[in-house]
Amino acid sequence: MSTCLAIDTSTSRTSVALLEGTKVLWSAFHDGATDHGKALTELVEQGLTQTSKISKVYVGMGPGPYTGLRVGISFAQAFALAREVEVVGVCSLDAIECHEAEYVVATDARRKEIYWARYKDGKRIEGPSVNFPSEVTSNFFIGEGAVKYGLSSNDGYPKLALFPVLATVTEPMYLRRPDAVPTAERLS
């Protein structure tokens, strides 16, 4: 069976895992919103001590902040290109493990907002979206955004699970306009 490398940098946590079919062979993470670049190379290096035969790379495409996503996506693309293997983009929220029939996954979007998506029977039925927590109605949340805003959660951070690949994502998922705007737009 082939071994896949899974990478996610859509939150302040850099997560890396080695997967073989439905089995997690190895996983690790590093917390730090500005550490993705350094942490990602170190985590992948640690993972490759388990096995260096990687047949596919999965990468979280967001939603998430611009810089964090770009670090993970560009690393995954370069790694896959160098090894001549396929890279598959997935919605980062889809990769968060939960064993409930219906649930909402939430991660911190900063600015007192959350990125979220609603799931039923393991399939995304709404989102991803960005809102204030009070605007999202649900009785079950999972993820670091949930904990930060006092919502219920069974973990504190997303746990990188097996990528169920509900849909391949080809472009990063930026759900809001960038903070930086051209001077002409600021002056008008």
| pLDDT tens track for 69-123 | 999 999 999 999 999 999 999 898 888 777 778 888 888 888 888 899 998 887 8
The pLDDT of residue 154? 42
State the Cα–Cα distance between residues 15 and 44, nearest whole angstrom. 10
Cis peptide preceding 178, ω within 30 of 0: no
The pLDDT of residue 86? 94
Provide the pLDDT confidence category of residue 170 given band limits of 50, 70 and 90.
confident
Nearest CA-CA partner of 140 in 183, 98, 104, 89: 104
Full strand arrangement of the beta sheet holding 23-31? 23-31, 13-20, 3-8, 56-60, 86-90
- In sequence order, the β-bridge partners of residue 9 are none
Q: Please count the other Cβ atoms lying within 10 Å of the Cβ belonging to residue 164.
A: 15
Domains of the chain in start order, with CATH, are 3-93 (3.30.420.40), 96-148 (no CATH)
